Amino acid sequence: MKAVLIALLLCWIPVAPVWCQGTTQDPYITVDRDSEISGGMEYVITHSFDIVGVNWEKGLVATKQVYEIEEQYGEEGEVSVTPYNCGYAGMEKQPLAGVILGVYDLNAGAFLETFTVYASVGEASACLSHTESVASLEAAKAYWTSQGVGNAAKPTVLAVKEFAAQHPQLQLELKNYDVPVDENDFYRWGISEVWMGGEVVYGIREQHTPSALTGVEYTYYGVVSQGDGFFLLGKSRYFNLWEPGYSHEYPFVTPVFKH
């Protein structure tokens, strides 16, 4: 079952071959909220995103994401959509949330497959039945096993500062900033970059309009490593202060870097 609400973003950057492998012509991922790459994630927040297994040999990760749709408002400011409590088993602490499991290919930069176990929805008719949820869960587990991530131990996630302190030779830096899209400075890029050894090795950017009170926030919250390979976990949020409740938020994974 393909999930269209949530998607991970990953790019493999050839800026500094000593740090990473693979090639692409553009050193930045560009997020377009109207395109499939953004996963249709408007009005969605992420409660948690976990890497539950890694197959380093194949470059695959098993993922679990807990997400929730946000309230949406009509033209007159009235609430038009609000999260509905589907009563999913085991979700008592987050009764409005949904769960998506997946396998992400770090080499290809794409999901191999995703499975919506619980869907966060705005009305009762859209809730998944117990039978549907169980079938999706079993399918996800079987797929994890087939891809060699089902029996892998859940990896340890280190704080970025802790990892950087343990590996000072990497000169790991994270930089977030805005730049104009053109000379008019009406539209701007919200940019986040990963630097190592004085070079940009990964970048993600999203367009916004400060005059319309829109903005982009990036947060890196963890590092997963083994041997000489590691990747970072991050989260991006686009917001519009003119429209209360309007945002989209998604996790993303950097390439696997070598050191």
pLDDT digits (tens, 9 = 90+) for 48-94: 889 999 999 999 999 999 989 888 777 777 777 889 999 999 999 99
Strand order in 29-31's β-sheet?
Answer: 29-31, 199-208, 188-196, 173-180
Q: Which tokens sit at 229? A: 């390979």
Please report the pLDDT score of residue 210 as a whole number. 74
Residue 142 within a domain: yes
Interval 226-250 mean pLDDT: 78
More confident residue, 244 or 178: 178
Residue 35 within a domain: yes
Sorting pLDDT into bands at 50, 70 and 90, what band is 29?
low
Please report the pLDDT score of residue 121 as a whole number. 94
Q: How many domains does the chain have?
A: 1
* Cβ neighbours of residue 6 closer than 8 Å, sequence gap 6 or more: 39, 41, 44, 46, 65, 67, 100, 114, 250
Domain hosting 34: range is 29-258
More confident residue, 121 or 13: 121
Share of the chain above pLDDT 90, in %: 44
Residue 71 within a domain: yes
Residue 8 within a domain: no
Residue 91 within a domain: yes
